[in-house]
Amino acid sequence: MGPLNGYTVIELAGIGPAPMGGMILADMGAEVIRIDRASSANAPVMKDVSSRGKKSVVLNLKDPAGLETLLRMVENADAIIDPYRPGVCEKLGIGPEACMARNSKLVFARMTGWGQEGPLSKAAGHDINYISITGALYAMGRKGEKPVPPLNLVGDMGGGGMLLVNGILAALLEAANSGKGQVIDAAMVDGAAQLMWMFHGFEAMGMWDASQRESNLLDGAAHFYDTYECADGEYISIGSIEPQFYALLKELAGLSEEEFGDQNNQALWPEMTDKLTAVFKQKTQAQWCDIMEGTDVCFAPVLNFVDAPNHPANVARDTYIEVDGITQPAPAPRFSRTPASVQHGGHQPGQDTDAVLKAMGFAEQEIAGLREAGAIH
């Protein structure tokens, strides 16, 4: 059983970072109960990886009896995840004040883009917007070209889902000592800003030009930290930053000291990039893997996410698993004594309504009455 075995988390159904956070908590052993909308009761189940390990209860939150059912569930929970815009839960009658009146030890985790307060808090947005005002998006892309969105990994996932889990775990630890819950304001804009911490330090030391893309050590300007096309049209990546790793790159790629000896001369980086581009085009990706993979060059083939599970290193570590016919990342991180695991695939909306409510003290006759009244499904 995972390290969070014995904890119960209620997740109000949402998209992106909130369900990701719930998935990680479920992987770690928490009982995560997703509250699905009544409108989803008869909808086909999407192949949603984030639903793995979670139970599903369908409540009609527009019905007073449905709201009361949720509040009674909160009495038995350790945390609740709110994925809505600021104020929505309050309007429904299930905001922090109402929930914590039922359970003073409850961790009420709120996941938004712009945060609970501020001039943008009520506005709609997506990952690309949140990372835009933190400097993260501006920094990504080639020189003289427009910024390139890094999928929705920086705002939604790294700056959202991971930040949410971090906050919930810290608040649960604190509640174990104080006996008191609290509200967490997890905002993707804050998380994305945190992910930029190192670059603020670099800029302060005069080591980063924030006004230009592809002009710095880690943004594709350095010939020894970039991706290169191979003879077969596939790509490889190198990150030979340290002198000893760069020396090995020169040795294994057959680079002359005369042309590539001055590693950190930024004025020569474009020229050395052009020359290295020609070198890597002389062999296929597989050939370069035979030469460099597993060495201290800091090398890897660039794979798409469909091919990634078949890479020998990922196979050896069981980095990917298959659940309900879908290949997906295995739970992480790895625990030596209480390993994380996927208990089951995604459940149909409402599949666990009766079982969950019974476990929380609802009588069978009461459950039947709630269903007949349309409060649950």
Residues with a known catalytic role: 126, 156
Whether the CB-CB separation of 194 and 130 falls below 8 Å is answered with: no
CA distance 97 to 116: 15
Determine phi and psi for 147, rounding to 5 degrees: -60, 145
16 contacts: CB under 8 Å, gap ≥ 6: 83, 127, 152, 156, 157, 160, 161
CA torsion angle 27 116 113 144 (round to 10): -140
Cβ neighbours of residue 132 closer than 8 Å, sequence gap 6 or more: 138
The span from the first CA to the last CA of the chain, in angstroms, equals 30
Tokens of 204: 């302060």
Q: Which two tokens stand for residue 282?
A: 């002389």
Only one residue has tokens 């159904």, namely 13
* Cα four-point dihedral sign 217, 221, 222, 227: positive
Q: Which amino acid, 58?
A: V
- Bridge partners of 11, per DSSP, are 34, 81
CA-closest candidate to residue 153, choices 137, 169, 172 = 137
**Distance between CA 135 and CA 58 in Å, rounded?**
40
CB 130 within 8 A of CB 203: no
| Residue 34, φ and ψ in degrees, nearest 5 | -85, 130
**Is the backbone of residue 3 left (phi > 0), alpha (psi -120 to 50) or beta?**
alpha
Looking up tokens 């625990």, which residue turns up? 335
Phi and psi at residue 17, to the nearest 5°: -70, -35
φ/ψ bin of 41: left (φ > 0), alpha (ψ from -120 to 50), beta (otherwise) = alpha
